[in-house]
Amino acid sequence: MSVTTQDYSMVVGGAWAESESGQRFEATSPATGESLGTIPEGTREDAERAIAAANAARRDWAARSAFERADALSRIADLIEERRDDLARTLTLDQGKPLHAESYGEVEELVVYWRMAAADATRLAGSMPPSVDAAKRILAYRVPRGVVGVITPWNWPYTMPAELIAPALAAGNAVVWTPASSTSVCAVKLAECIVDAELPAGVFSMVTGPGSVVGDEVASSSGTHAVGFIGSVATGHKVAVGAAGKATVLELGGNGPMVVLDDADLAVAAEASIAASFLCAGQSCTAGELFLVHESVHDEFVERLRSTVDRSVRLGDPFAEGTTMGPLNNEATALKMDEHVADALDRGAQLVVGGKRAAGFPTDLYWEPTVLASVTEEMEVARDETFGPVVPIVRISSDEEALQIANSSEYGLLTAVWTRDLARGLRFAEAVDAGWVNVNESTNYWESHLPFGGRAGSSSGVGRVGGNSVLEAFTEPKTVVVTLG
């Protein structure tokens, strides 16, 4: 595929703009190694301009009817559908996802988020609780918080911004968005759809540049009243400090244990492992990055998984129809894969398949789908979020041992458990410390309208994304007391 390079802009106050610094950084495709163009390197001053514009616009936007705001979001969804091919191709070039296996799917899900938020905007209801005084009437309803700062990652550069931006706008807030630098071209393409939908000036801004600068300013500024962040635990902690005192939604990392008990359907579980560990090349907070397999079925499961990976995972040119897995997005992620796999092998893990970067591709970011057996809890691949295409398998002897391992993790985002006994699966689901549990399903299964987030006390975040959970997070209760006559 031919690549067109260009100098992109950011959005300040609803209009395309350059950084006040005049500085730019280059966007490079992880799939081809080619330059995609240059992006403005935003500064704190750029973020401040965007926040000021948002505050100037927020009261007018909040005063619009929910149905008017819903119409605006529907226009954005319409534009995304019209630009489906361009958005999908850009996602493959800029992020690395296989075009046919994943990129089109993310664009389709992106439409769902905008349409869902448009519908939810018209359903945000209040109540009329009774008063102790018969001459008074009480109105209790929700109002927008004001300006919402949104900071998003590179692994799902369309849908993850949408699950925060769309409900924030639907609820009547203005939004200032700082996207991940390594998928800034995707961010521009999504921003084009929002700008071209002709929202009032100032309601939406997108400031590109280093997160440590523009993201920090958006999180800490007194001009933002709520912050939504999706990303790593380390960055999430910094965002939480900067946003102290504000309403926050923080969806952070996970180590998604996938538990295979002794009565599991091994054939189905092995097939589901492909989506669990190799969707988005394993670069997902819900990836199955730790497999806890009962000793009585361990060997059979490992062999089934090996053959399933050989048969089903096709690492290759992400534009080719048969490709199911593309490159990793960036060198830092690839280096972490290098380190975690090397550490596991040095400590005695058994290499079942894969184990290294793949040769013969345009960039060094293509990593072989990897399965490791004989993994133990002290290995980095078992303790940390690897964020790559690896299945680390730990042998367990009981449900209790699986629970002990899962609940001793610092993470608490998502767990999957496989068993033919649904009562056993439900008991496990209720006992495991995770915000979401799948029974007889991949760790990478979720539904966009359901509340999703980490368990309290874990490092996986606070609050919930998904459906009207975010709409409520970006609004606050208001009580009005009316005295009659």
Query: Catalytic positions, please?
Result: 251, 285
CA angle in degrees (0–180, nearest 5) for 109-113-119:
135
CA-to-CA dists, residue 224 to 15, 48, 145, 243, 382, angstroms = 20, 10, 9, 9, 38
φ, ψ (nearest 5 deg) of residue 17? -150, 165
SS3 per-residue string spanning 186-246: HHHHHHHHHHHCCCCCCCEEECCCCHHHHHHHHHHCCCCCEEEEECCHHHHHHHHHHCCCC
Quote the CA–CA distance of 53 and 79 in Å, as a whole number. 24
- Measured distance CA(453)–CA(181) in Å, rounded: 24
Residue 100 DSSP code: I
CA neighbours closer than 13 Å in the CB half-sphere of residue 312: 18
What is the amino acid identity at position 354? Answer: G
User: Which two three-digit tokens encode residue 186?
Assistant: 């995707």
Instruction: Tell me if 73 sits within 8 A of 166, measured CB to CB.
Output: yes
User: Checking phi first, is residue 108 left (phi over 0); if not, alpha (psi -120 to 50) or beta?
Assistant: alpha
Closest CA to 146 of 202, 214, 209: 202
Could you tell me if 204 and 174 are in contact, meaning their C-beta atoms sit under 8 angstroms apart?
A: yes
Residue 472 in tokens = 């409520």
Structure tokens belonging to residue 310: 């050989």
In angstroms, the Cα distances linking 362 to 28, 103, 327 are: 12, 20, 10
Handedness of CA 205, 210, 216, 222 (dihedral sign): negative
